[in-house]
């Protein structure tokens, strides 16, 4: 009988939990939810008590005002029909012991008396408790009697917004901050400077804003593939803009009221074309053509960067200042008299060490001002500055190396966190940088898996999604690319690692997207998602499956980074997905494709075909000609197809099959695809023989 009662109770608890998940979904998913029998109706309103010791009363009151219920501020907590916010010691929160870090955690109790109590050790924790309550109230004013104890897995939960390639207004940024706050994200990384435009006021170097912030082609693409020039502010047709110091301070205050820290990024030494255009004396002395790297040999470079950073510090109170450090070509330094002199004087052996010298100097300068540097993983090259934090983007290797050396790391690998790639079938999406990064893949990322050594894991600060704006000219397009994938980043950063249920997460993301659309946002509508390339979902059966393939010179030198399954790729039965980096598409950079398939014996053949893709942005093009020939003896070949194709540069990715059909008996098939006049890769996934 006791076992029967226990089973009944277990099923009842399960039913209550399922009901909570369906009707009161919270994202990021809370780490502990206990649901009890019963519910309370708060439609008539609540009294609002905020612990008098809380310094952030105004912020919390504003957060509570968004709940959608009437609130009346009171001086004492109410046991009935009250919303009570308390700052307490960690020991007073029973579930807090389960968390290593409870600084942003909270405890939320919906009581049968009709009161809602939120307890936390910090005001940020109370604010996040309010966000959970706000989401529970999306479906109406009835709440289940429940207990939630929740805290973030990672300290750093962020998004990068690029306002250099295409400028975004303060109002636009505030709108994104609002959604970030609802999802308990706490870092907004603003990419303020890059070749395409300088976007923050600097009084000591005014031409950064009066000249380097303006161009005549409105889109980055037109500018990048054109003359890449800049124009004076006020020039007819000038496109651009920048945040004034007052704009930036307003934004910082707005974000802080929602417990979000804005981290400014000032790129150095690379990605500095606009700086050199405004102040050419900072270029390396020997090279008259366009340069993107600052001259490290000149003291004027350090004088400028330090002056700029002084003004950045004045505006942004964040602990971290992002100094970029990525993708410096370093080519001009090798022949620059000033850079070479600097290397001799400092005993530097390589240009990597020269960049490291600059990073060290900038770190020392910022440390003296009470700030810390964070940079992309290239700052590891030549030796990492002692106190630097690394943002790992080229994969996880840089982050793992930095963490193993005792440096803090934010994981942001492009394969999971670069949300500038298309999120659905690329041919149906607006132009993007290339690839394919659906919500499901973003959600699958784990910044600190169980396989990671504890000595490394302790240095993983968190995770960040990056949205670069090269191909995103409008605000509406930017929101569509950002959301809902940034929702996945939020949950990865907050919720404790456990067996993830993507279907459950997707259902919650769909609800958030619908809510955002009702409020005037423009997220990607998950309800219309097409999904992965259909051909890739199941292995394909055909006559050449598993047959040997001979790669003729020079096609035998397929790109090592796109080797897929090596010599077995073209007959392994696996069709490619929407992205060429999936390990199924094989990439050829030199000469094109020229291969011979040995069928093993003379075989009756009725069709031979292979698919190619085109992504013009990253330099992936269709072939201009495909030749197909067959032979019975491997010596004498008969050409059966010459397929010509006019390769046209297009904004949207495309996929095309190049093949022959008819009737022929042969043992050997030679398939040859020629590159067009456009330099770049040819990608093919399978040669299908039927």
**How many C-alpha atoms does 148 have within 13 Å on its Cβ side?**
32
Same-domain check for residues 422 and 567: no
Query: Could you say which of 116, 150, 184 is where a domain stops?
Result: 150
Most distant CA pair in the chain: distance in Å?
96
Same-domain check for residues 131 and 161: no
Same-domain check for residues 124 and 162: no
Residue 286: per-residue pLDDT: 64
Average pLDDT over residues 387-412: 96
Residue 6: per-residue pLDDT: 42
Same-domain check for residues 248 and 206: yes
Query: Could you say which of 123, 150, 177 is where a domain stops?
Result: 150
Q: Is residue 452 part of a domain?
A: yes
Query: Could you say which of 150, 168, 197 is where a domain stops?
Result: 150
Same-domain check for residues 202 and 259: yes
CATH number assigned to the domain comprising residue 613: 2.60.120.260
CA distances from 326 to 96, 169, 374, 375, 378 (A): 40, 26, 12, 8, 5
Residue matched to tokens 């998950």: 526
Q: Is residue 2 part of a domain?
A: no
- Which of the residues are catalytic? 194, 271, 327
Residue 458: per-residue pLDDT: 96
Per DSSP, helices labelled H in 424-579 are 439-443, 454-457, 475-482, 485-494, 502-518
Same-domain check for residues 99 and 215: no
Residue 491: per-residue pLDDT: 98
CA dihedral (391, 531, 168, 217) positive or negative: positive
CATH number assigned to the domain comprising residue 327: 3.20.20.80
Q: Is residue 100 part of a domain?
A: yes
Beta bridge partners of 188: 159, 262
The predicted-structure confidence for 608-645, as pLDDT tens digits, reads as follows 999 999 999 889 999 999 999 999 999 999 999 999 99
Q: Is residue 410 part of a domain?
A: yes
The predicted-structure confidence for 75-95, as pLDDT tens digits, reads as follows 999 999 999 999 999 999 989
Q: Which domain holds residue 405?
A: 156-497
Same-domain check for residues 143 and 162: no
Collapsed DSSP state (helix, strand, coil) of residue 124: helix
Q: Is residue 368 part of a domain?
A: yes
Same-domain check for residues 139 and 207: no
Beta bridge partners of 322: 265, 374
The DSSP secondary structure of 58-109, one letter per residue, reads HHHHHHHHTTSS-EEE-SS--SSSEEEEEE--GGG-GGGGG-S--TT-EEEE
Same-domain check for residues 409 and 490: yes
Same-domain check for residues 294 and 352: yes
Same-domain check for residues 244 and 272: yes
> Is residue 9 pLDDT above 80, yes or no?
no
Q: Is residue 517 part of a domain?
A: no
- Nearest Cα neighbor of 124 from 106, 149, 151, 104 is 104
> Is residue 2 pLDDT above 70, yes or no?
no
Instruction: Say how many domains are in the chain.
Output: 3
Average pLDDT over residues 544-563: 89
């Amino acid at each position: 009988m006791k076992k029967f009662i226990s089973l009944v109770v277990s099923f009842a608890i399960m039913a209550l939990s399922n009901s909570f998940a369906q009707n009161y979904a919270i994202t990021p998913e809370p780490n502990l939810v206990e649901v009890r029998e019963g519910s309370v109706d708060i439609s008539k309103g609540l009294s609002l008590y905020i612990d008098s010791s809380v310094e952030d009363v105004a912020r919390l009151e504003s957060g509570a005002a968004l709940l959608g219920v009437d609130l009346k501020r009171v001086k004492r907590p109410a046991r009935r029909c009250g919303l009570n916010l308390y700052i307490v010691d960690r020991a007073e929160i029973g579930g807090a012991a389960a968390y290593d870090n409870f600084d942003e955690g909270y405890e939320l109790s919906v009581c049968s008396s009709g009161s809602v109590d939120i307890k936390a050790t910090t005001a940020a924790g109370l604010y996040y408790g309010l966000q959970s309550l706000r989401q529970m109230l999306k479906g109406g004013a009835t709440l289940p009697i429940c207990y939630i104890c929740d805290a973030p897995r990672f300290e750093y939960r962020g998004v990068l917004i690029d306002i250099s390639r295409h400028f975004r207004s303060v109002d636009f940024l505030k709108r994104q901050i609002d959604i970030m706050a609802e999802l308990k994200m706490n870092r907004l990384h603003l990419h303020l400077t890059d070749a395409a435009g300088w976007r923050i006021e600097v009084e000591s170097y005014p031409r950064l804003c009066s000249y380097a912030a303006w161009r005549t082609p409105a889109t980055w693409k037109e500018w990048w593939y054109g003359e890449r020039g800049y124009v004076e502010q006020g020039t007819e047709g000038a496109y651009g803009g920048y945040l004034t110091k007052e704009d930036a301070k307003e934004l910082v205050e707005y974000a802080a009221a929602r417990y979000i820290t804005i981290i400014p990024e000032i790129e150095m030494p690379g990605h500095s074309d606009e700086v050199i255009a405004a102040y050419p004396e900072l270029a390396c002395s020997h090279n008259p053509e366009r340069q993107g790297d600052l001259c490290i040999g000149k003291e004027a470079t350090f004088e400028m960067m330090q002056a700029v950073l002084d003004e950045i510090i004045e505006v942004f109170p964040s602990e971290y200042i992002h100094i970029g450090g990525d993708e410096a070509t370093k080519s001009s330094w090798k022949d620059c008299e000033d850079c070479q002199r600097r290397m001799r004087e400092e005993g530097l052996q390589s240009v990597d060490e020269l960049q490291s010298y600059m990073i060290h100097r900038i770190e020392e300068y910022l440390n003296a001002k009470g700030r810390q540097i964070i940079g992309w993983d290239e700052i590891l090259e030549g030796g990492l500055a002692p106190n630097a934090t690394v943002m790992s983007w080229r994969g996880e290797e840089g982050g793992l190396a930095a963490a193993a050396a005792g440096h803090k790391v934010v994981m942001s690998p492009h394969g999971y966190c670069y949300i500038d790639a298309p999120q659905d079938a690329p041919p149906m999406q607006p132009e993007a940088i290339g690839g394919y990064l659906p919500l499901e893949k973003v959600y699958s990322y784990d910044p600190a898996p169980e396989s990671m050594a504890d000595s490394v894991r302790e240095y993983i600060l968190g995770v960040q999604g990056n949205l670069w704006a090269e191909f995103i000219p409008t605000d509406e397009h930017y929101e569509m690319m950002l959301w809902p994938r940034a929702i996945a980043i939020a949950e990865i950063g907050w919720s404790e690692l456990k067996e993830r249920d993507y279907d459950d997460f997707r259902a919650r993301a769909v609800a958030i997207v619908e809510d955002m659309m009702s409020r005037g946002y423009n997220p990607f509508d998950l309800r219309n998602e097409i999904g992965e390339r259909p051909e890739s979902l199941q292995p394909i059966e055909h006559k050449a499956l598993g047959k040997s393939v001979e790669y003729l010179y020079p096609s035998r030198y397929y790109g090592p980074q796109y080797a897929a399954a090596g010599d077995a790729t073209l007959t392994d039965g696996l069709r490619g997905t929407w992205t060429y980096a999936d390990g199924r598409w094989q990439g050829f950079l030199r000469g094109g494709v020229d291969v011979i398939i040995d069928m093993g014996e003379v075989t009756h053949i009725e069709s031979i075909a292979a698919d190619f893709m085109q992504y013009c942005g990253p330099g992936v093009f269709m072939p201009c000609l495909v030749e197909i020939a067959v032979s019975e003896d491997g010596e004498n070949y008969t050409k059966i197809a010459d397929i010509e194709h006019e390769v046209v540069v297009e904004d949207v990715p495309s996929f095309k099959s190049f093949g022959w059909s008819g009737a022929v008996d042969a043992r050997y098939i030679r398939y040859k695809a020629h590159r067009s006049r456009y330099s770049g890769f040819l990608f093919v996934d399978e040669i299908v023989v039927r």
